[in-house]
Structure 1
Amino acid sequence: MPDRYEIEQLVINDSFINYCFNRNPSDTAHWKNYLSEHPEEAATFAEARELVLGISLMLIETKEEEETAVIPMHPRRKNLQTLFAAAAIAAVIAVSTFFLFRNKPEVSTPQLYAFSTALAEKRTIKLPDSSTVILNAGSELLLDKDFGRKNRSVSLKGEALFDVQHDAQMPFTVGVEGYDVKVLGTVFNVKAYPGDKKSETSLISGKVEIYLKHTASAYKTLLPKEKFVIVKDLEALPASKAADIKPRTPSTTIMPLSYNRNQVNVETAWSQNRLVFENETFSDIRQKLERWFNVQIIFEDKVVEQYTFTATFEKEDINQVMKALQASYGFKYNIKGKEVKISHQNRR
């Protein structure tokens, strides 16, 4: 064991990396014990830990360009030292820069780490805390700039399935329009697309707390196989009247999760590449189809929007889906490029 650790040695040490992410109890105990015996190295350890977490987020940004963004920070992975060694040059540069500018005043710059999916795309992301997120089509996930260091806060626009690692000291929080979801370790689905009438949080296992915006205490606590639903107020108010009207309390409810006749969970079926409709109107499934296939659906008759469907699709394309749905009502449709026009059968 060296007389004194240098920052460059610590940032490529697997045991120290585990300590930084609190992954291995024996590694955590070892380095805490070492620090208690060598308090003079506390500043060095703190700087090294900041670099380890910074390199982790740098690796996130590098991997984001891949079709499946898997962040190489999983505790079962055996080549962590190789990954961090590859980033050692960046670490040395960061260390040099730190000592060069350490006496200059810091400028606080907001910095978020973003992941997004296009229409007809899904992406699996491994976060630095080993939590896993599957992003559905047309979604965006933002990590707080202090994620893994001071908090585990993310914000979501769209839909994602979360499998969160337990950490009682640092709860995981998902912020969406209208409310926050707070968890310690669990599996849950959040659907919060801008423009949708409803936002939902569906709990698969564990326990989550729902906090409405601007409230200090938990509004609802979900149990497994329950979902929280909030109906959005999408009516825009004129600017001249908005100040005189008190904001309306959103409509909320707790409901059981939905399952089809094959006991497939409707809320999370998308993460298994299943497109599931369970007694839903054409109007309701319109946006699902648009996101799933990257198309624009145009209803030429109001009556068509009220047709209801129960169906499950996996590998079908948009034309095959339309043909299958057509068997129920006999509507007409025309696909031209990414535009799908649908009309009533007797329309002239």
Structure 2
Amino acid sequence: MDLQNPAPEDLLCDESFLRYCWGENQTDITYWEYWIQERPERQPVAERARRLFDILTAGQHSRPAQLAALKDAVARREQFTALMLNRPAPARVVKFKGKKILHYAAAVAVLITAGALTYFQYTKKQSWSLTKYEYHTTAGSRQTIMLPDGSVVMLNTNSHLYIGKDLRTVTLNGEAFFDIRHDAVHPFLVHTKDYNIRVLGTSFNVRAYAGARRTETDLITGKVEIVPATKEKVVLRPNEKFILAPAATAPVKGTIAHLDVDTLTHHATETSWARNRMDVHDETLAAIAQKLEAWYGIRIIFASEKARQYRYTASFNDETVFRALQYLKQSYPFSYKVEGDLIIISES
């Protein structure tokens, strides 16, 4: 392990640091106190590692159980990238008889990697309590929340998440990626505006924005059960997605299809945002502008109707909005100018 610039999770893999956290060896305590004091920028990393240690070992009353919890949490972080790999599966179509759809919202926990990490606190009464029950992200921001059982949720931009007191029931308005720890006794339940999702232990993405015409669930691993208002359950298999687009007059139709896989990266495009990547496939510049607004928290308007209809296919990894626009201009030229936080696009 590189002790010059370690991540909090790296410290949890170091036996000496664990002994420091347990406070059982004076040599280790002295070493790590000096290590922290030697370079002040290490203190936030050490403090986050200590918080993770407290969270992941709380409620584990034996040393072997504590070590197992720590190793499992670190392993879950290392496996996260692998969860994004997908293979397509045959498409299926499901039709529901009813027209009305439940109008709720939902999502919960996953990830020790990118974004802001929110912790849950352990009380002296040996029970978990939430530091807060609701989370909200704005345009250009994302947040990662970790639950006491090791489950994690990454909340995308312009999203709202409510977590029930039992920590296994959530409501989502927006988009979130979940990695839920298996618990056969206490299934995890996600409420959205169009249907509910019952989970035993799996990784999946949910897109359920208020006002959007469709609600979508993308399954990466495990199994989820979709429960619409009609109670006609649908079970998703890995690499499948369920799309529900209610119509005003026609019966509600739910479609099961395979995930879209990028031919170059072999990743599912549905979860590209969780890898800090934005993909566009044969979309108009107007549609891309909406994504850029949410992604970067800026405003874009058009001075030309013709420019709105230009179409592009592209992928962006950790690019600035200006670099993204420059890339787009290379395939179909246009002009833009910046006025404060406003970008104005016109014909070239």
- Residue in 1 aligned with 2:226? 210
- Going from structure 1 to structure 2, the CA distance change for 1:112 and 1:231 (only over 3 Å counts) comes to farther
TM-score scaled by length of structure 2: 0.61
In structure 2, the residue matched to 1:185 is 201
**TM-score normalised per structure 1:** 0.61
Partner of 1:305: 308
Q: Which residue of 2 aligns with 1:231?
A: 245
Q: Within 2, Cα distance between the matches of 1:15 and 1:295? A: 41
Cα distance in 2 between the residues matched to 1:306 and 1:280: 9
For 2:132 and 2:203, locate their aligned partners in 1 and report how far apart those are by CA, in whole Å. Answer: 24
Partner of 1:273: 276
Partner of 2:285: 282
CA gap of 1:298–1:210, structure 2 versus 1, over 3 A, is same
Counterpart of 1:163 in structure 2 is 179
User: Does the CA-based 8 Å contact 1:197-1:231 persist in structure 2?
Assistant: yes
Quick one: distance in 2 between partners of 1:324 and 1:227? 30
Q: Displacement of 1:270 after TM fit?
A: 1.0
Amino acid at match of 2:172: L
One-letter amino acid of the counterpart of residue 318, structure 1: V
* TM-fit CA distance, 1:248: 5.1
The 3-state SS of whatever aligns with 1:174 is strand
Kept in 2, the 8 Å contact 1:112–1:142? The answer is no
RMSD: 3.1
> How many residues in Structure 1 have an aligned counterpart in Structure 2?
241
Higher Rg of the two aligned structures: 1
Q: Which amino acid aligns with 1:204?
A: I
Ranked by relative contact order (alpha carbons within 8 Å, sequence separation 6 or more), the top structure is: 2
CA shift for structure 1 position 330: 1.2
Q: Mind listing any 5+ residue stretches in structure 1 that lack a counterpart?
A: 1-11, 27-66, 73-82, 95-110, 234-245
Work out whether 1:17 is the aligned partner of 2:59: yes
Change in 2 beyond 3 A, CA 1:315/1:156: same
Q: Name the CA distance, whole Å, in 2 between partners of 1:175 and 1:169.
A: 19
Q: Post-superposition shift, 1:162?
A: 0.2
- Equivalent in the alignment of 2:320: 317
Q: Match of 1:166, SS?
A: coil
- Where does residue 98 of structure 1 map in the other structure? none
Whole-angstrom distance in 2 between the partners of 1:16 and 1:138: 33
Match of 1:71 among 113, 116, 119: 119
Q: 2:334 aligns with which of 331, 334, 341?
A: 331
- The CA distance in 2 between the partners of 1:344 and 1:293, in whole Å, is 23
Counterpart for residue 126 of structure 1:
146
Stretch moving more, 314-323 or 294-303: 294-303
Deviations 1:147-178 (A, max 9, x none): 3xxxx110111111100011111111111111
Please give the alpha-carbon distance, in whole angstroms, between the structure 2 residues aligned to 1:280 and 1:137: 20
1:306-346 C-alpha deviation (Å, 9 max, x unpaired): 3322211112211111111122221222222222222334x
